[in-house]
A and B are shown apart, each in its own frame.
Chain A
């Protein structure tokens, strides 16, 4: 009996050994941070996630930031009036930083892991050219995010490394807009410009053209015209871009990949990511728009004098009697009555034209005008003006830099209507108050003017963002 007992005990003891191994269970169905970032495929997946982040952050906010508060649009009865009456609050749609920082996190992940993978055994086949181009895209996208932040919100917290453990410092205070520009956006873009593979030119990626365009845009924001002009020359030096002809202007929005004017566009495929929210803002088939086209734009395009401007009917649906349908981003698709059929909100593909040559060309004209090179300015302005089907400006009408500046702003307003550019143009030229206040007061007599408190040009930070991070300070006076 005793021997049997010992035997059973021994059997039992065998079940006790190896505890450490017992208590390790690996999840097979989910990918953990520890098991990712090993191969080229992982980088490709990370890059796709990053562009997805750009897409998500643009889906609603690109329009809200660039057009929502401007004289291009008025908020409809279905939208939030706050945009139109200078009444943003810490809960207004667009104030939340989460979509932008989600993209920054994804770019940071790439910036940290791509060099490690490229240097590893498994990553050797990637090659320096490809890995540098991955890094260039990550730098480019991160700069795009911070550039948006500094223009809309002023300062913002700086995150250069991925957040990969809850123990990490998470309450980071805001750095100034100047710091973001000089220490993050510009260095990132310069890095990207150095690293980018100059043979890549697909418009759906932030290729070398997009990076140089962004550099020019950033220097223009700084009013650093020599550098802006330099990067414009580097952009045109690629010999890749030329203006889309008048007849096919619409291609810029419905088939940007086929246009030599497109520099960086965002693709959209609703079957993969759902519909672009911008459609619900300015034109979807199944819902009322949140914004109406303002009278400023409507009356410009519908006046007899501008009947030749080809951009009007290709941007605005004049048959929509309540002025709430922008048809710019959709191919012509008419029903039997000749009325445009719009896709449902959740099935809308909108290809955001983030940068196209016309934008940079007019910025170059602005730079020329600001550096007293009015001839170049008028010349470049006319390139766009004439393409639109309008007669060229002459020095008879554009008599000085002020009239040129106004003509440039107006041209940009018509050319880039609903493309998310107008607000930045107004801020960059310092004319937010002088342009918007009279129009706003005419329609909303009780609205607070920008002149009464210019600090309200910046957006407020969302309350959730503030609550989640005690180190953050709200933009005054919000």
Chain B
């Protein structure tokens, strides 16, 4: 063999050198090889193409090699795409090579619940998001970074609020519960994570796996129904210490202004409103009697504004440019018996209003230590301290209502610290919120999440592992709003203090047994016993009329009217403890790597459930068939992977809060004329039947790959059935119990399709060539309620309908139920006759002409409550995301996009509140409203005689489609020659535009809304923002 190879090499060498025999043949090459994230790769192989000559990298990723000119180096490493680099001259080279991760590598190991599996062995539906993808969008927290990155994971800003530190809402495979939450379970390094996802810095995360089907979530039993997100933090590897720094800084701006009227437009609206609201008094909106007379709520300052042509842009005065800063430093390394990874970070983001910011300090430590041959121990510790300022401060509602005809300053140039002229003296100067000390809101969160394990492998194949986790959090909140702020509108100053302490600890004992029998039968058995205890206590109190504003919320003794109530959650001070005890067993069986079977059973016992009914079983089964291993598919050229998977199982949603089964009394004070006594009376009745919600899911998946997996992907189909959905039942009033009773009675279903495709469209043959790869995912989820309370007798389109709660059989949860606006009643004789026939007023100031025309859906000849119907649903037709990566020479370009098509949004800007009253007393959203000269069918007329247009909410529904470019990053890897001698090994500079474009959004393009992305009603709130960031990654 050796002889043969030598002679072959010699032959090659002869071939190569023959034409250029006269020249010196070789160059000495020094280099380092790292991952795209800058982590040096030890053990990577470098081979001169066409030869067996080569070397491997050392612990710090460096290598040295002699290679002939014009030869090609082939660089490979498990889990990474192979790269080729051509040697062009005989100069001594220093090469810095980064390898792209090969996401399609079937030998790649991914984390599953309580263990790891090779990708080729996975039987459930699991979406993996790599470290690189997590880094693609620089974000305040992990959930923002995950948007658009995996099929079936719907991440949206909650109520459209974009304040710094906001955590978006996450739905995995849609909404399935009406009363219980729909948020997934987070598991960090194997331990259920009870904290806020805000507390995890993007840079500390090595990988995220999303468990979607019942087979993969069944091991989380009662907490698995909404999906599970497994977060793995970075751990150390063998090798010399590796230091990495990454940081960026940049600015944030609002993504647009809410479309409000300017001065002249507002004046015009007032004229029309007054004209229409005083029927028969004026000849028209420009009647001099009207213009110079009593225009609705026109202050002298506004008349002056009209005269001067004033047009105050209140939003421009409120918004400012925010600043984002991020610094992350990590050190990792180790030997074959000890590995460590330490990281520290600082992140700060200031918002587009003064007073809003989010700051996080983080410290992470991971250590793995081998003790002897059988024992391994490790710890990991994630510590964060975050400060969120101004999370609910919002001067915008007032800024949008404020008259553009007046100034925020009085005649002496002083800021008005009071109501503004006009608008019935009801609008307070939004800029007064920003006076020093006027509004202060601060939330300090300190969290420490620690886990440790001991792993003992006494005999081959058997492993015992103990996991212990402890999580401690404190959350200290305080706010103070002065009397003359937009929060209090001159009434009195208010303040609140709240303290929450949360503890959670988890103990797990796990046995794993691996055995291969007769080379064909592989068995992997896992057994688990776990105990988790959670405790949370909260103290909240509100008070008003502070003696000194200067004390803010630091000296409650200066306040009055104390209330031990949480104004945001409306809860009394509370203490919540629960315990979950679980037993789990899982069997993985593989035959000849072709046929795979996974059986999982978990039993959960919970302190929350009533005595005698505390334990429930969660079974699941999954099978997979590696078709590619079948002889008939071997050597079939193009097809490089084909697998079929199927699973079925049932998991739970822990839906109910502690003590809910017990019944409670509540207090009420009574005064017997001088003697005040606290009375107690029954508020809710004991409810021992209350139980969890259960979701059974059937899932079929196909994994495929073509051309050595240059094109690969996954297709999933699922159908899930949720039963025992909690619904509230009102007790007969004769019971004397005021609280509703929760019963497990409803049902819902979700079905969907998820597709994920990864393609290396252009693979770089060498370091100078152009490379292009992409990830695309798209998914469809269709949910519907299938059963309501049997006592519901009302129907909609023949199916049971709970009108009060807006729950409808056959419709998705959250469907919009309202009157159906077909247009605007026009000033024509036909319309007048038609309106009159429907019992509408067509004369006087309450005339419907110019107002919403509502469909007489039930054809009973009048417009009544029976005409309400389904207007739409927030459920999109389809959603998706894509990541496009381009590389050319030292440049790389990454574009991440998220898309959501179809699905309705309900916008408060147009359909509720004070921005669209059309009354003319507040500034209004700038719509092309109906007038006698503009007979539009879209917007109602202005009318000073009504506080809101009739059927106001029908104007607030919009198509919520959008395609959002989440980030565009242009990076440049600085050639090593430029920083030789600095000690740095890699250096990359980049610029990122974050959320630069919102495309294909009718809400934005046609109606000039800011951003349609919103889980729940789109409130008028901190507007969407975009940022420009400049960053640097250094490895040394």
Is A9 positioned at the interface, with any CB of B under 8 Å from its CB?
yes
Q: Are B531 and A15 in contact (CB under 8 A)?
A: yes
The segment out of B217-225, B725-733, B870-878 that lies at the interface is B725-733
**Nearest residue, chain A, Cβ from B607:** A25
Given known A29-B575, A101-B734, contact A273–B669 (CB-CB < 8 A): yes
Decide if B741 touches A166 in the complex (CB within 8 Å).
Answer: yes
Please give the distance in Å from B143's CB to the nearest CB on chain A. 30
Q: How far is the CA of A16 from the CA of B456 in the complex (A)?
A: 19
The distance in angstroms between the C-alpha atoms of A255 and B901, with both chains bound, is 69
Q: Does B861 contact A (CB under 8 A)?
A: no
Closest to B468 in A: A15
The reply to whether A45 and B791 contact each other, CB–CB distance below 8 Å, is no
- Check B281 for interface membership: any CB of A closer than 8 A: no
CB of B286 within 8 Å of the partner chain: no
Contact with B along A166-182 (1 / 0, CB 8 A): 11101110000000000
Judge whether A344 is part of the interface by a CB distance below 8 angstroms: no
- Assuming the contacts A30-B659, A166-B685, A167-B688, asked whether A22 and B664 have C-beta atoms less than 8 A apart, the reply is no
Q: Which residues in window 33-56 of A have CB below 8 A to B?
A: 33-34, 36, 42, 44-53, 55
Contacts of A464 in B (CB 8 A): 730, 733
Known interface pairs A31-B664, A31-B665; A162-B687 also in contact (CB < 8 Å): no
Binds A, one of B26-34, B673-681, B806-814, B939-947: B673-681
Q: Are A2 and B579 in contact (CB under 8 A)?
A: no
Pick the residue among A1, A163, A257 that contacts B673 (CB under 8 A): A257
**B679 and A170 contacting across the interface, CB-CB below 8 Å:** no
Q: Which residues of A contact B663 (CB under 8 A)?
A: 32-34, 164-165
CB neighbours of B670 from chain A (8 A) = 48-49, 51-52, 55, 272-273
In the complex formed, the residue of B with least CB distance to A462 is: B733
Tell me the count of chain B residues lying within 8 A, CB to CB, of chain A: 65
Contact pick for B573, options A24, A29, A171, CB 8 Å: A29
> What is the distance, in angstroms, from B464's C-beta to the closest C-beta of chain A?
7
A34 touches B679 (CB 8 A): no
Closest B residue, CB atoms, query A105: B736
Q: How far is the CA of A156 from the CA of B456 in the complex (A)?
A: 71
> Inside 8 A of A52's CB, which chain B residues have their CB?
668-670, 679, 681
Q: Mark B131-142, 1 if CB is under 8 A from A, else 0.
A: 000000000000
Question: Do A29 and B572 have beta carbons less than 8 Å apart?
Answer: yes
A303–chain B nearest beta-carbon distance, Å: 37
Nearest-Cβ distance from residue B369 to partner chain A, whole angstroms: 16
Q: Tell me how far the C-beta of B735 lies from the nearest C-beta in chain A, rounded to whole angstroms.
A: 4
Which B residues between 565 and 592 are near A, CB-CB below 8 angstroms?
572-575, 577-579, 581
Binary A-proximity of B582-611 (CB < 8 A = 1, otherwise 0):
000000000000000000000001111001
Residues of B within 8 A of A166 (CB): 685-689, 731, 741
| Cβ contact within 8 Å between B687 and A25 | no
Q: Which chain A residues border B687 with CB–CB below 8 Å?
A: 166
Which of A32, A45, A257, A469 makes the CB contact (< 8 A) with B678? A45
List which A66-121 residues lie within 8 A (CB) of chain B: 96-98, 101-106, 108-109
Verify if B737 is at the interface (C-beta below 8 Å from A).
yes
What is the CB-to-nearest-CB distance from A263 to chain B, in angstroms, rounded to a whole number?
A: 15
Q: Does any Cβ of B come within 8 Å of A470's Cβ?
A: yes
Scan residues 355-388 of chain A and give those whose CB is less than 8 A from a CB of chain B. Answer: none
| Contact A204 B685, beta carbon cutoff 8 Å | no
Residues of A within 8 A of B844 (CB): none
Asked if residues A469 and B734 are in contact (CB atoms below 8 Å), the reply is: yes
Is B581 within 8 A of A23, CB to CB? yes
Q: Give the residues in chain A near B374, CB-CB below 8 Å.
A: 1, 4-5
Report yes or no: A272 in contact with B671, Cβ–Cβ below 8 A. yes
Please name the residue on chain A nearest to B561 by beta carbon.
Answer: A271
Asked if A5 and B458 make an inter-chain contact with CB atoms under 8 angstroms apart, the answer reads: yes
A236 at the interface (CB under 8 A from B): no
- Chain B contacts of A462 at CB under 8 A? 733
- What chain A residues lie within 8 Å of B733 (beta carbons)? 96-98, 101-102, 462, 464-465, 468
1-31 of chain A: CB within 8 A of chain B: 1-2, 4-5, 8-9, 12, 15-16, 19, 22-25, 27-31
In the complex formed, the residue of A with least CB distance to B605 is A23
Distance (Å) between the CB of B865 and the closest chain A CB?
12
* Cα(A51)–Cα(B671), bound, Å: 9
Nearest CB in chain A to that of B529: its residue? A16
B525 at interface by CB-CB < 8 Å: no
Contacts A257-B673, A272-B671 given; indicate if A163 touches B735 (C-beta within 8 A): yes
Indicate if A346 sits at the interface (CB-CB under 8 A). Answer: no
A424 CB, min distance to chain B CBs, angstroms: 23
Residues of B within 8 A of A272 (CB): 669-671, 676
B507 within 8 A of A: yes
Q: How far, in angstroms, from A103 to B667 measured CA to CA in the complex? A: 14
Sample of 6 A–B contacts (CB below 8 Å): A4-B375, A23-B607, A30-B665, A49-B670, A55-B670, A166-B688
* Chain B residues in the interface with A (C-beta under 8 A): 372, 374-375, 454, 456, 458, 464, 466, 507, 509, 529, 531, 533, 537, 572-575, 577-579, 581, 605-608, 611, 614, 658-659, 662-665, 667-673, 676-682, 685-689, 730-738, 741, 791, 793
A-B pairs with the 8 shortest C-beta distances? Answer: A105-B736, A49-B679, A48-B679, A98-B733, A49-B681, A269-B671, A469-B732, A27-B659
